[in-house]
Amino acid sequence: MTRRHWPTGHGLRVAAQAVLVPAAWLCLCAAPAAPARPPPHGGSDAMTPSLRTWVRYPPVPAQLGARAALGKRIFFDASLSASGRLSCASCHSPRHAYGPPNGLAVQRGGADMRLAGTRAVPSLRYLTFTPLFTRHFYTPASADSEDEGPTGGFTRDGGAASLQQQAAIPLLGSNEMANPDAAAVVGRLRRAAYAAAFQRVFGAGVFDHPRQALQDIGLALAAFQTEDASFHPYTSKFDAVMSGHARLTPQELRGYALFNNPRKGNCARCHVDTPGPGGRPAAFTDYGFAALGVPRNPAIPANRDPAYFDLGLCGPYRRDLRRETRYCGMFKTPTLRNVATRTVFFHNGRFHRLEDVLHFYVERDTRPWQWYPTVAGRVAAYDDLPPAYRRNVDHDDAPLDRTRGDKPALDDAEIRDLIAFLKTLNDGYATVAGGAGTARPAHRPPPSQHQR
Ligand code: HEC
Ligand code: HEC
């Protein structure tokens, strides 16, 4: 089953929607240029200038607002955890694009720091345009829009409605910061050096109402993640190329073409690489959900129980869609910005090298024995899903549309080209969003901005 073109039962079509863009956003190009698409079969360096597109980058605030400044202190404060050793930044490391600081599939937390998590830590970069979760998404600004299925929401199953709401999950999670309730979180915050500042922003009596105070903590954390440029720097080579300040190498350009070619990588189908509504920079995700059939990861302690399955949209963490078994196994499409800085991939952290991720994409069904265990002489394909849900696995979208013995959609050289392109999505190539005027030669190490 594909995540695309869900049967709506009533053939609903929606009209184009106008999307408002904050007036303060700046455009780095003098005049809007027509967005250029690469030819389907490769290309040459000569076409690099035509990649230039009209993109608006968010302005960098001169200083954080009062809420965001508080959120920053909370984000880095390990004293808010039961162990006293875990802050948001411990798992979402600013030095690693706010992704995991190590290659572990899951991190440990809890009062004694010995309880393992169940999902790989996602990057917190480029989340601010995440749409509200909906089961039926229609592409905005498209006159001929089709139901693209479940889309949006925070966490890998879209279960948190906002950054504010999400913040309570790690603060209260028994295997994360492990506060038993809101009162415990507030009790710790009262003892923090910024307690008085918290009262100035949210009211002198804020600590008397722990549940409300927990909401306010969420507001502060959300404001920090939304306002601080380190969460959306747009300083990649890709951004510099799109705004005309740098050129892709021939290999990167081949990778870019494969990324977009619907019969080869087809990555852009889900990891959208064109600007969003109103010239919003490409997010490299459509925020949609798909079941890729990623192999079970024995490195996750919860997986020692053969009856345990992480089914994403239909549970066990998210509860409202439990009966929607056609969603079982579906996880949110993450952004690919900074993906080449990660050493743990997919919701269950099963892979540790981009090469392996790419080989999995193209060989999942052509050489399944390489990816799944053989049980009683048969390959147990999609072994991280109970048999009843294995039909939810996406077979419709290339490169996942092959069968056993077919030629994989990408060969080794093409995979190397694709990875070269993915590396252009790492922030730190330029010093300013969009790379205006300051693009660095590719051989220089990236600057250490936004790190601490
Ligand atoms: C023990 C490690 C750990 C800690 C500590 C932690 N997180 Fe996370 N975070 C995760 C994991 C794992 C996920 C994915 C959870 C899921 O999909 O269910 C996640 C998901 C998120 C998401 C959703 C990202 C998305 O793609 O939608 C946000 C936002 C977030 N965390 C913010 C925070 C904040 C703010 C804090 C501190 C209050 C924090 N995290 C503390 C591990 C951690
Ligand atoms: C049908 C939609 C779809 C297509 C096509 C697709 N992806 Fe994905 N991609 C996803 C989803 C969904 C996930 C998350 C799956 C999970 O966690 O189980 C993902 C995850 C990834 C990850 C792991 C990122 C992380 O932070 O863990 C990488 C890398 C990736 N995709 C690269 C690619 C590349 C390169 C291509 C093209 C060859 C591609 N994808 C094609 C939907 C897609």
pLDDT tens digits for range 225-274: 999 999 999 999 999 999 889 999 999 999 999 999 999 999 999 999 99
Q: Give me the mean pLDDT over the 378-407 stretch.
A: 97
- Tell me, using a 6 A CB cutoff, whether residue 362 lines ligand 2: no
Contact 289, 312 (CB under 8 A): yes
Spell out the domain ranges in the chain. Answer: 1-8+60-232+249-423
Would you identify the CATH topology of the domain 1-8+60-232+249-423? Answer: Cytochrome Bc1 Complex; Chain D, domain 2 (1.10.760)
pLDDT of residue 62 exceeding 70:
yes
Decide if pLDDT at 442 tops 50: no
Neighbouring residues of 335: CB distance < 8 A, sequence distance ≥ 6: 123, 125, 126, 127, 271, 283, 284, 285
Give the ligand at the shortest distance from the Cα of 394.
2
Pocket probe mutation, ligand 1, options 114, 123, 130, 169, max atoms within 8 Å of Cβ = 169
Atom of ligand 2 nearest to the CA of 410: 38
Ligand 2 and 351: CB distance under 6 A = no
Which residues of 219-353 form beta strands (DSSP E)?
289-290, 331-332
- The DSSP call for residue 208 is G
User: How many angstroms is it from 333 CA to the middle of ligand 2?
Assistant: 6
pTM of the predicted structure, to 2 decimals? 0.89
pLDDT at 211 over 70: yes
The pLDDT score that the predictor gives to residue 438 is: 52
Rounded CA-CA distance 164/347 in Å is 22
The pLDDT-based confidence of 397 (bands split at 50, 70, 90) is very high
Q: Tell me: pLDDT of 286 over 70.
A: yes
Q: Which residues contact 93 (CB under 8 A, 6 or more apart)?
A: 99, 100, 101
Kindly report the protein residue whose alpha carbon is nearest to atom 29 of ligand 1.
163
pLDDT of residue 54: 78
Residue 1 CA to ligand 1 centre (angstroms): 29
